[in-house]
Chain A
Amino acid sequence: MKHFELSGFPNLISEHATHIYCPTLHGLNGRQADLAMVMPRLDNNRALFDTRPTEGSSYAGVLTCDPFGTADSFLRRLADHGYVGVSNWPSAILFQGHTKRMMASMPATPELEYAWLAGAQRHGFQSLAFFRSLEQGRAALSAGLRQLVLHPGLIPQTTGGPPDLLIASLRDLIEKLRHQVGDVDILLYEHVGLNEAVQATDVGADGAVTFMATP
């Protein structure tokens, strides 16, 4: 089982997990982390260079729709700084309805995030693509990405009782994507809002990403 830890803390050290450093998550809890895309609290991408990541294994959580700069020079800097992988977090995958249409005009869409990650792969980075729906998962596969993270969606409150329906739908979604492309690793974002009631093994995922609040 693969295991990643998403955090706003730069030097998270874990023997069992790969660290995804996303500076804008600093000081947020697991539910607030889902809102990071619409919280103008710092320059996420610049902050990636403020401290050295964990030696030789860290991923960078990148705001891929940053309208400034170029991907090529940014990716070169990430490599120089020691990051080995990239992930689309904060992400546009959670936008819905009017907000989704509005942000798409910027443009900030999951499809553009996947295209950016595919470009990073060509630069030698490993990539981890967050997605929330079957449509987004298929778009990530179409872009050539083979390491995906299924986000269960926005969860405002801790749910009580066994979430059988949610487990069934997540399992179904993962199976459909596997049916489309065999050689894909699909991980589950073990959302803190689910209070550990839905884990990667429950939905047949190849691994998990967990959120680690800043110590």
Chain B
Amino acid sequence: MTDQNNPFIFGAAVGSGLTALAVDRAGADFLLVLNAGRLRMRGASSLASYLPLRPANEWVFEIAEEEILHRCVSPVLAGLNVRDPAIDPIEIVEKAKELGFAGVCNFPSAAMLEGQLRHLMEAEGIGFGKECELIRAASERGMKTLAYVCTNREARMMLEAGAERICVVVGFTGGGTGVSTSLTLEAAADLANQVLEGIPASVETLIEGGPITSPEDALTVTRLSRVNGYIAGSTIDRLPLEQAIEEVARSYKVISKMGRGNKGDIAQPSAFSGSSHAMQTLRKLVEDIAPSDLPVLITGETGTGKSLLAADIHSQHNTSKRGPVVVDCTSLSHEIGSVQLMGQVAGLNRRDVPLTRGALETAHGNSIILEEVSALNPELQGLILRFAETGFVQRIGALEGRAVNARLISTSNRDIDDLVETNVFRRDLYHRINAFQIAVPPLRERRDDIAELAAFFARSLTRRDDVQFTNAALRVLLEHDWPGNVRELKNVIQRVLTLNSSGRVTARDVSFLSSRKVAEQEKSAYSEDPAEPANEKEWIAAALKQHNFRKGTTARYLGISPRTLYNKMKKFQLD
């Protein structure tokens, strides 16, 4: 397991000024200029780096000189090929040093080749042994060195040659790059440990390739193995670039269509940030269903942003001009809930009772958002069902109903299927409000978005766009499980930025998340009652007890507002 005190090292294998400058600004610990990076930028596979397409070293020098060296703060290493009898490792290292490279690495390496081809290379003196000479030459000249290896023998050879960083290559990157990998993250971690056996802790160890295609994959492998860093290649340039370009290109098409339809319409940005696959899919779904009038049910854990999404669907509805009517179903009292929903006629029971329009009637020509619809009692469920079936609303005390045209958008953080099965929620109503269902994933299942969301909240809370998170700080954020989801993340960022206005968020600023996790682990390990809360009621009750029923502290701990906590306490009778 990685020592948590060691900072996570992030290196980026690049092949263009654009990528290099971007990762440099993002705080990469070092850059590698590889011919593979350039080939990716030209739309080819990284594997083409082995082919006689260009003289690899001259190309790397040319790219770096023209686009990268002297423009980046991070150390820049040259990926050098020595699989050529005409190349002298000492000469090529000295050339790299003269040009201003901070170090070198062996790329494209013989380590990734195998079989008779590899044996022949070694027999001819142009294989991995010569790559060790390259690293030795650089080390002796005081340059930084990074060695790509695939086996323990190669790692030991490079250690002996003086490599200060060793990167275990677990195959070329899988995912969308066309190279298939059968390795799981666990198997990649095991492999890395085997390869690094006997390598002293003083050598920095990294991993690259195989099944690792995202920051959370990299984090998982560093947690499962002794490596303490990751080198991103196609995962830092081609994959995100292709994705971003596709999205932007699609946006141009969509916007141009809107422009043709109605020049007065302005596309509102989605409430849901994040470039993870899950959020892209969700945004596409919202885009598809928003224009219709059909009821939508949004499910997800507390803090995932169901209410924001409901409002987003409303705002994307092409007929919406007003804000939606929002009903917090947890706060509808048994006594007057029906009046709040349906309204009542004037003078009902008492002369001084005024005419009241209910929420449903108010939502005519608009959307009505039923927050936490599963909290509705059976009587109110019946009223909503009648409206959903007939489109009529009858004020309490009125003899006839009024036609109301309102779109139903409901949210629930409880498993409605379970509630239906146990007859707590009416099956007929469930089907009425559930023409479309959107499940919002918890933040821990879309860790790709954490860094992006953290930056978004930092910008929106401070109105500054220069707030930076160190790699170590982001690592802490990525490691946290976020039981309170996006709301909790927002609260954490708010807390951090309130206490630290320097514009640079470090691991220390967010270390309370790690200590909270440790405390929770210790508690679960040693508590007299180790059982996990079985449901939301128990979760809230446990949190209240833990914080001596101080509502403000408990709400912050749970990542919800005091008002929501109050409503939930009332609902679950925890007063």
A residues adjacent to B (C-beta < 8 A): 24, 27-29, 31-32, 34-44, 63, 65-68, 90, 94-99, 102-103, 105-106, 108, 153-154, 156-157
Contacts and interface: CB of A to CB of B under 8 A. Distances in A.
A40 B55 contact: yes
Residue among B55, B120, B178 with max Cβ neighbours from chain A (10 Å): B120
B117 A94 contact: yes
Determine the main DSSP class of B at the interface with A: loop
Given A35-B117, A68-B42, A90-B52, A41 B84 contact: yes
Contacts of B42: 68
B116 A40 contact: no
A156 B51 contact: no
A156 B116 contact: yes
B47 A106 contact: yes
Interface residues of B, number: 39
Residue among A29, A90, A156 with max Cβ neighbours from chain B (10 Å): A156
Given A28-B85, A154-B117, A156-B120, A40 B44 contact: no
Contacts of A105: 45, 47, 178-180
Interface stretch (B2-10, B107-115, B219-227, B310-318): B107-115
A154 B120 contact: yes
A40 to B, nearest CB: 4
A98 B418 CA distance: 49
Contacts of A29: 85, 124
Given A103-B47, A105-B45, A156-B119, 16 more contacts: A36-B52, A38-B108, A41-B56, A41-B81, A44-B52, A65-B51, A67-B39, A67-B44, A90-B52, A94-B116, A96-B116, A98-B115, A102-B112, A102-B179, A108-B47, A156-B123
Nearest to A28: B85
A202 to B, nearest CB: 23
Nearest to B83: A39
Interface string B41-76: 011110111111111100000000000000000000
A24 B120 CA distance: 18
Determine the main DSSP class of A at the interface with B: loop
B192 interface: no
A32 B124 contact: yes
Contacts of B112: 99, 102
B455 interface: no
A157 B51 CA distance: 24
A106 B177 CA distance: 9
Contacts of A95: 117
B86 A41 contact: yes
Contacts of B45: 67, 105-106
Nearest to A44: B52
Contacts of B52: 24, 36-37, 39-44, 63, 90
A179 B466 CA distance: 74
A38 B117 contact: yes
Contact of A35 (B53, B115, B121): B121
